[in-house]
Structure 1
Amino acid sequence: MLKATNAGFDTLDGSSGTGPARRTLLAAATGLAATGCTAAPRSGREGPGADGVRQPGVTTAQQSAALVLSYDLTAGPRRLRTVLGAWAGVLAADRAPSLTATVGLGPRLAPNTLRELPPFPGDRLDPARCGGDLLVQLCADDPDALTRTAARLAHPELRPRWRQPGFLPPHPTGSVPRNLLGFKDGSANPTAEECERWVWRPDGGTFLVVRRIRLRVDDFARLTPRRQEEVIGRRRADGAPLDGGREDDDVDIFAKTPHGRYITPLGAHVRAASPRLDGGARMLRRGYSYDDGPDDRGLLFLAYLRDPALFVRVQRRMAAQDELSRFSEHQGSAVAYVPPAKELWA
């Protein structure tokens, strides 16, 4: 488990943990070359980092399919060394093209300042879709490769808790994919430089927030295109702010018309999520759509960030003022610490 250092971990209430908040993971794996990356450019290209410090699958350009797995350790934290040693062998031998595996530690295994996300107004969480000791994000361009890799991760010390596949609808290479509501999802994601400040911790770790969000796609589709844009706060055609510009421009939530009206409606989704309300702090959204049947379609929300307290603040604002909440229901939730690759597989 993670060895103690002087670096603390931010808590969900925004305070900073200090002292022996980290526990050494293990020295279990040999032969697994974890590819780190140093940037999350808006072009979607991965940075050249080859030092193995950071886990892949965070700022890696999104592959077309994802599978998130959650497990509980049946024998408790002391068996983590055994499980990760077995996984290291599996992943080192896996040669599936474009496959990345990103491993996170749930609150029971992570640094002791990490806690489960608090409840939010409007949540309809299913306990069977929440939490877990170990979270694994598998991504690849071949969905079958994810299924094969997931089967090889089975271990007698693990009890599967939940799993959720996701996909990206077809979209031009290098462009931001659309969600099931028809809007681009991930516009104005942080640049490479912004990821250094807001996603990656100095040691190469980060945090992952997972939310399974069922969308009322048919109800949203009944709105006029103009009303849909008012709910989202961006133009449907190109993802640009309502007052124009480019897709990767931040929305100026304070901009007004000559008559003094806000251009971005007060209930718009992008207003509640705006970094301008959090001192510029950002999260890297790596979302996928899911389709588990005609009455259960939505968003597999994956966000990487330096401090989970940012997600808590944003989600509380959304619950209070985001009109998109009328068309969405949070059914699953998890948070995990994503250790540096060098500590996970050393």
Structure 2
Amino acid sequence: MVRSAGAAALGAGVSGCGGAPEGRAASTRGLPRYGPDGSAVARRAQEAARVRPFAGDRQAGVSTPQQRHVLLLAYDLDEPRPAALRTTLGRFTSALPGLVEEARRAALTVTVAVGPGLLRTAPVPHLPIFAGDRLDPAGCGGDLLVQFCAADPATVAGAAGELTRRTAGGVRWRQPGFLPPTPPGQTPRNVLGFKDGTANPAPEECERWVWDSRGGTYLVVRRVHVDVADFAALPLSRQEEVIGRHRADGAPLGGSREHDQPDMFAKTPQGRYVIPPHAHIRAAAPHLDGGARMLRRGYSYDNGADDRGLLFLAYMRDPALFVRVQQRLAERDELSRFIEHRGSAVGYVLPGAAGRPLGAGLV
């Protein structure tokens, strides 16, 4: 993650919960270049993600239709940290409605999550270190995580500056991300050129697996560096075997359409699995977790020629789900040869303010 001056599953799903309401840099070998400028995605988000009231039962920016740009900020709070958290959340509660209203045309959402050790209830666990992680401590953790999303980067940066001035603490790390230019109605592609947003939970599944009874959820953030050049050096057929999907249309191997259910038991006439045993989508399959799902809201990031990849954002009722999935991916996923997890954070997304300060009764 980009330090301040002072995916679990890659390619598995990034769009929001079926639109449920609430209260990508240089390429090689034919892979596309995705930069952070201009896209129909921004216009669609601006039209579809009309600003939700900040004071609803749930914060916006989770199942809100995905906006074009994101900025994640992690803050270290002043001591004593519980008092600094209450002060900061009170200031946020006062400032956010005006910020969101002022940026209505850009469909701004601001989503606030609290890190480990600061909540009396809804305790936030520390994530373990997984096999293959190359985490930079200065780009991990944080007492407070804030996600800013909007149709344009200037709106995101402006809102981030306003809230940073109101935070009783300092910025620990920051990471921007973006969606690539995408034709209307199509799934965005990640830096590997594969569609990334196919298999998110439906709205009714979000009620079961994402939101808790208070209107909160857990957020896991991972900055996943991707070795695009090495992956691109593979023949297309091998790329597709690594992912488990066709690059052209996103259909699972053995399927004909993007949203076909992957058949994990299908075999070739020679007796080989159509979806190879170490394919990415096989290791991430929800049936291995009793059907439990994460809502993924991933973005591409570009920190320069030596650091490009996926800014993985996932929401779930129980962060133990992420731990189980990531352990499988680290052990079995052939895609692990081409990626490194370099940043990591986890927080509890507070329920909406609903007429009282953010975090009331929890901090």
Among 104, 108, 113, the alignment partner of 2:117 is 108
Among 50, 56, 60, the alignment partner of 1:52 is 56
Instruction: Give the letter aligned to residue 86 of structure 2.
Output: R
Structure 2: how far apart are the matches of 1:296 and 1:317?
24
Structure 1: how far apart are the matches of 2:256 and 2:292?
22
Alignment of 1:89-238 (within 5 A): 89-94=94-99, 95-96=102-103, 97-110=106-119, 111=121, 113-154=123-164, 155=166, 157-238=168-249
Q: TM-score, normalised by structure 2?
A: 0.80
**SS in structure 2 opposite 1:219?**
helix
Contact 1:188 1:249 in 2 (8 A): no
Name 2:78's counterpart in structure 1: 74
Structure 1: how far apart are the matches of 2:247 and 2:167?
48
Structure 2: how far apart are the matches of 1:90 and 1:171?
33
1:122 Cα offset (Å)? 0.4
1:262 Cα offset (Å)? 1.1
1:256 Cα offset (Å)? 2.2
Q: 1:174 to 1:48 in 2, by over 3 A?
A: farther
Q: 1:142 to 1:120 in 2, by over 3 A?
A: same
When structure 1 is superposed on structure 2, of 77-86 and 55-64 the one drifting more is 77-86
Please list the CA deviations of residues 322-345 of structure 1 after superposition, one character each: whole Å capped at 9, or x if unmatched.
Answer: 011111000000011112103653
Name 2:8's counterpart in structure 1: none
Please list the CA deviations of residues 19-66 of structure 1 after superposition, one character each: whole Å capped at 9, or x if unmatched.
Answer: xxxxxxxxxxxxxxxxxxxx821xxx3427578111100001100000
**SS in structure 1 opposite 2:293?**
coil
1:142 Cα offset (Å)? 0.8
Contact 1:188 1:247 in 2 (8 A): no
1:88 Cα offset (Å)? 2.3
2:90 maps to 1:85 = yes
**SS in structure 2 opposite 1:341?**
coil
**Which segments of 5 or more consecutive residues in structure 1 lack a partner in the other structure?**
1-38
Structure 1: how far apart are the matches of 2:159 and 2:124?
28
2:277 maps to 1:266 = yes
Contact 1:55 1:341 in 2 (8 A): yes
Among 65, 69, 78, the alignment partner of 2:69 is 65
**Which segments of 5 or more consecutive residues in structure 2 lack a partner in the other structure?**
1-15, 24-52
Instruction: Give the letter aligned to residue 141 of structure 1.
Output: A
Q: 1:48 to 1:83 in 2, by over 3 A?
A: closer
Contact 1:207 1:335 in 2 (8 A): yes
1:258 Cα offset (Å)? 4.1
* CA-atom RMSD in angstroms: 1.7
Structure 2: how far apart are the matches of 1:146 and 1:156?
17
Q: 1:211 to 1:254 in 2, by over 3 A?
A: same
1:79 Cα offset (Å)? 2.0
Contact 1:189 1:248 in 2 (8 A): no
Q: 1:156 to 1:275 in 2, by over 3 A?
A: closer
- Number of residues of Structure 1 aligned to a counterpart in Structure 2: 305
Instruction: Give the letter aligned to residue 74 of structure 1.
Output: D
Instruction: Give the letter aligned to residue 102 of structure 1.
Output: T
Please list the CA deviations of residues 92-133 of structure 1 after superposition, one character each: whole Å capped at 9, or x if unmatched.
Answer: 221112000010010121336421100100000000110001
Q: 1:344 to 1:201 in 2, by over 3 A?
A: farther
**SS in structure 1 opposite 2:275?**
coil
Q: TM-score, normalised by structure 1?
A: 0.84
1:223 Cα offset (Å)? 0.9
